[in-house]
Amino acid sequence: MRVEVVMPQMGESVAEGTIIKWHKQPGDAIEKDEILLEISTDKVDSEIPSSHEGKLAEITVEEGKTVDVGTTIAYIETEKDADIESSDNGESEKAEVAEDTAERSEEATAPANGEQIETKGRSGKDFYSPLVRSIAAKENVSQSELESIEGTGIGGRVRKQDLLGYLESRGTKPAARPTKQVQAIKYTGPMENVDVVEMDNIRKSIAKHMRTSLDTSAHVYSVSEVDMSKIVAFREKHKAEFQRKEGFKLTYTPFIADATVRALKDFPRVNASVDMDKGEVLEKRFVNLGMAVAIEDGLIVPVIKGADERSFLGLARETHRLANKARDKELDPDDVQGGTFTITNPGIFGNLYGLPIINQPQLGILGVGAIKKRPVVINDAIAIRSMMYLTLSYDHRVLDGAVGGQFLQRIVQYLEEFDGEGIL
C-alpha cells in the first residue's frame, strides 16, 4: 500500500520546512528508520528517517522547495496490505481528528465558545434593547407604536434596523445616527506617469453636491421615447427666419422647456421639495426652471425664473441669455438660485440618454437625449422618424412611480402633439 510522508513539525512555532536533500529517489528501496531526506526550518536542520520499509514511490516536493508542516512530500509503497498497515500510519489519526472536529464544529461552535445564550424570562418580542428604547424616546415613538412594529430579531425582537425602517416609512427623521463615513479608496500606485490636477472650487462644490444628492434622495428612473419629427420639421422650416429676427439660433431647448413647464403645472407634486424634519412636501405654485449648461470646465445650472408665465419666445430668449452669461462666466448668484425643476442635456454629445442626479432640493430632473432618425413602427408600418429619449430621475421618497411615469408621459404627449400654432 502507499503511505504518505509528511513534513514534520520541528518546534512549536514552526509552520513550514524546506527540503534540502532527498537521500532516496523514486524506485529506491528503503528500510524503516533509514534516512530518507534532510529538511531545514529556521530553527533546525534535521535528517528524517523513513517511517516504513518499502520502496520510495513518488516525491511530491522537490529539493529546495518550502512547504507547510503536515504537507505530503512523498509516498512510500510498502509490502504489507492496507488493513494491517493503516494502524501504523500516523496520518490516519490526523484525518480522524480532523473529521471528528469537523463533525462537531456545528454544535460545538455554540456551546463551547460562542455560547448560545437564551434571553430568559422576557420573550424577544417584549424586550427592547437600550438602543431601541433610546431611539424611540428621541423620535417620540410610543409604546403602542413600538409594539406594532414587526421585529426581525430572534423571537420577533425589534432590532435597530426594524425601528429605523419604521421611522423612515412613518416619515420622521430617523434618530441621529453617525452617518457612514465612507473612507474613499485612494490611488497609491507609482506617480511617474500620473498628472496631478488641482480641483478648483467649482469642481469641489459639484463633487460635494452630487454626493450629497445621492445620499439624500432615493433616486429612481424612468425612460421614454419621443417622436420629435413634427418639431424637427417645424424648426427646419423656421430656423433661418428666426435667426434673422432674433439674432440667435433656434434650438430644441425651448420646445422641451415649454412642454416640461406645462407638465409641471399638471403635476404640482413634481414641482416641489421636501422637509423630512417636519414631514412636509412643499409644492410650488410657480415654476423656476433650471437649465444645465456645460461650461469650460464644469457645469452650471442657471434658472429661468417664472418659466410658467413665459411664452415660447420668452423661454427661448431667456434660455439664450442665461446660456451666454454662463459661458462668459457672468452669472449672478441670483441667476442660479431658486430652481424648482431642472432639465439637463446629456444628448448634446450625441448620447442616447443619461441618468442625471437630482439637483437638491428639487425632486426631479429631466435628461434629454440626442435626436436621431430611427425606424419605428407606426400603424404596423415601418417609418423613419426623428426620435429622442427622455429620462426622468425623481425622488422616490416623495414621488411614486405612478406620478413620475405619468408626468414623463405628459411631456412626451405635449412634444408629440406640438402644432406650432402662432408660437413665433
Partner 1 sequence: MTQAELSELVKRSEFTPVAGLSAEDCVTLYYYMQLTRTFEMRLASFYRQGKMVGGVYLGTGNEATSVGATYTLEDRDILAPTHRDIGAHFVKGESLRAMALQLLGRAEGPTGGKDNGLHQGNKEINTLGMISHLGAMISVAAGAALASKIKKSGQVAIHFIGDGTSSIGDFHEGLNFASVMELPVVYIIENNQYAYSTPNSKQYACDWIAQRAHGFDMPGIVVDGTDVVEMYRVTKWAVERARRGEGPALIESQTMRMRGHSEHDSADYVPQKVMEKWEDKDPIDILKNYLRDWGVLTDVTREQIDEQIESEVEKAFEYALDAPVPEGPEAANGVYAR
Partner 2 sequence: MAEITYIQAISEGLREEMQRDESVFLLGEDIGNYGGAFKVTKGFVEEFGEERVIDTPLAESAIFGMSIGAALQDMRPVAEMQFSDFVSTGFNQLVNNAAKIHYRWGAAVPMTVRMPTGGGVHGGPFHSQNTEAWFFHVPGLKLVAPSNPYDAKGLIKAAIRDKNPVLYFEHKYLYRREKQELSGDDFLVEIGKGRVAREGEDLTVLTYGSMVPTSLEAASHLESRIDVEVIDLRSLMPLDMELIIGSIKKTNKALIVHEDIKTGGIGAELSARITEEAFEWLDGPIRRVASIDTPVPFAPSLEEYFMPNPDKIAAGIQQLWDY
To the nearest 10 degrees (0 to 180), the angle between helices 130-138 and 160-170 is 20
Q: Say whether residue 154 binds partner 2 (CB under 8 A).
A: yes
Sign, CA dihedral 234-240-244-247, equals: positive
Q: How far apart are the first and last CA of the chain?
A: 99
Q: Say whether residue 375 binds partner 1 (CB under 8 A).
A: no
Residues 92-111: x where in contact with partner 1 by CB under 8 A, - otherwise, as a string = -x--xx--xx--x---x---
Indicate if 396 belongs to the active site.
yes
Cα angle 95, 100, 104; round to 5: 150
Nearest Cα neighbor of 63 from 77, 73, 72, 52 is: 73
Q: Say whether residue 129 binds partner 2 (CB under 8 A).
A: yes
Q: How many residues in the shown chain lie near partner 2 by CB under 8 A?
A: 36
Q: Which residues contact 147 (CB under 8 A, 6 or more apart)?
A: none
Q: Say whether residue 14 binds partner 2 (CB under 8 A).
A: yes
Q: Which residues contact 164 (CB under 8 A, 6 or more apart)?
A: 135, 174, 175, 177
User: Pick from partner 1, partner 2, none: which does 118 bind, CB < 5 to 8 A by kind?
Assistant: none
Q: Which stretch binds partner 2 (CB under 8 A): 98-106, 271-279, 330-338, 371-379?
A: 98-106
Contact call for residues 73 and 42 (beta carbons, < 8 A)? no
List, in sequence order, the alpha helices (H) in 50-110.
Answer: 82-86, 90-108
Among 19, 51, 146, 340, binds partner 1 (CB under 8 A): 51
Q: Say whether residue 5 binds partner 2 (CB under 8 A).
A: no
User: Pick from partner 2, partner 1, none: which does 207 bind, CB < 5 to 8 A by kind?
Assistant: none
Contact call for residues 379 and 410 (beta carbons, < 8 A)? no
Q: Say whether residue 43 binds partner 2 (CB under 8 A).
A: yes
Among 1, 8, 164, 308, binds partner 1 (CB under 8 A): 8
- Cell numbers 431658486 correspond to what residue? 338
User: Pick from partner 1, partner 2, none: which does 7 bind, CB < 5 to 8 A by kind?
Assistant: partner 1
Indicate if 52 belongs to the active site.
no
User: Which residues 19-38 are close enough to bind partner 1 by CB under 8 A?
Assistant: 33
Q: What are phi and psi of 387, to 5 degrees?
A: -105, 155
Which residues in this chain contact partner 2 in the complex, by CB under 8 A?
12-16, 42-43, 97, 100-101, 104-105, 108-110, 112-117, 119, 129-134, 153-154, 157, 159-160, 178, 180, 183
Residues designated catalytic? 396, 400
